[in-house]
Structure 1
Amino acid sequence: MHPTHLPLRLATGAFILNSGISKLGADEGTAQYLHGAAASAYPALFKDMEPTKFAKLLAYSEISVGAALLAPMVPSTVAGAALTGFGSSLLGMYFRTPSMTLDDGIRPSQEGIAVAKDAWLVGGGLTLLTQGLLGAAKSGVKSGVKSSKKAVRKATPGKR
């Protein structure tokens, strides 16, 4: 993990992990609310799922994303992809729920403000993902240059 990723990974990872842990013991009303929001946004995926099972699935998903962000051995590309996917699913729910946006379909209504802020999760995830990919590409170029230099030295004995 690059040291500059630490603040982003700690802040978002701790928040998402805590959110997931708190949903593990969701009561029936909370489970129905969570399921209702997800089922209306993604009916093909969640319409037929029991609310309590959905709440557990959501809890375990959040715990997984939060733990991936907090674990230093998880590469930034993997943690960033998980965060981007998670944040994108929340923004998908935001854009698919008419009561969450104003008439223009973009700006948040009072009800949508809590979900609209999840755009930061997508931004953070994309930052980790692209920096991880660019870092891997850069190190690949460096190792390729080193290999090329070694090959040139072997091909031209006596010159160093």
Structure 2
Amino acid sequence: MKLHTIPIRLATGAYILHSGLSKRGANEELAAGLHGMAAGAYPVLKDIPPKQFVKALSTVEMTLGTALLTPFVPRGVAGAMLTGFAGGLVGMYARTPALRRPNSIWPSQQGTAISKDSWLLSIGLSLLIDALTDRG
């Protein structure tokens, strides 16, 4: 792990790990809401029961958060994982018109929280680029 990647890996990893842990015991209402939003953007998810979807999402978030926090996980691997995960979140934002202002890429009031996932994508890409361009 390179010294300059520690702050972004700690902050991002802790946030994502906490998010995954908080979804572990999701009730039916939360599961239905998260599943509905995801399935609206990615119709292939419609056939997965909401509780099963949230359990899988929780596991993915906990795994990703742990990978970012673990020093021996190479930054390229952590960056690729984060880029893939965040790409899905940004894709959901892009595919859900209610999250954006009409005819715009800018978020509506309800889209602000999800639009911030673009920062996760940027962090993942930065880790990935850093690893791929490191000559040392």
**TM-score normalised by length of structure 2:** 0.98
Aligned to 2:4: 4
C-alpha distance in structure 2 between counterparts of 1:55 and 1:104, whole Å: 31
Aligned to 1:43: 43
Aligned to 2:79: 80
- How far the C-alpha of 1:132 sits from its partner, in A, is 0.7
State the number of aligned residues.
Answer: 136
Aligned to 1:121: 120
- How far the C-alpha of 1:27 sits from its partner, in A, is 0.4
Summarize deviations over 1:61-102 as a string: whole Å, max 9, x none: 000110110000000000001111111111100011110001
Q: Percent identity?
A: 51
Kindly indicate whether the alpha-carbon contact (under 8 Å) linking 1:41 and 1:93 is maintained by their aligned counterparts in 2. yes
- How far the C-alpha of 1:105 sits from its partner, in A, is 3.5
Give secondary structure in 1 for the equivalent of 2:110.
coil
Give secondary structure in 1 for the equivalent of 2:47.
coil
C-alpha distance in structure 1 between counterparts of 2:73 and 2:101, whole Å: 39
Query: Structure 1, unaligned stretches of length 5 or more?
Result: 140-160
C-alpha distance in structure 2 between counterparts of 1:108 and 1:26, whole Å: 27
Moved runs in structure 1, 4+ residues, more than 4 A? none
Query: Structure 2, unaligned stretches of length 5 or more?
Result: none
C-alpha distance in structure 2 between counterparts of 1:78 and 1:25, whole Å: 28
- How far the C-alpha of 1:103 sits from its partner, in A, is 1.1
Q: Which has the higher contact order (CA 8 A, sep 6+)?
A: 2
Summarize deviations over 1:14-54 as a string: whole Å, max 9, x none: 0000000000000000000000011010012x110000000
Kindly indicate whether the alpha-carbon contact (under 8 Å) linking 1:98 and 1:105 is maintained by their aligned counterparts in 2. no
Kindly indicate whether the alpha-carbon contact (under 8 Å) linking 1:83 and 1:122 is maintained by their aligned counterparts in 2. yes
C-alpha distance in structure 1 between counterparts of 2:92 and 2:49, whole Å: 19
C-alpha distance in structure 1 between counterparts of 2:21 and 2:48, whole Å: 21
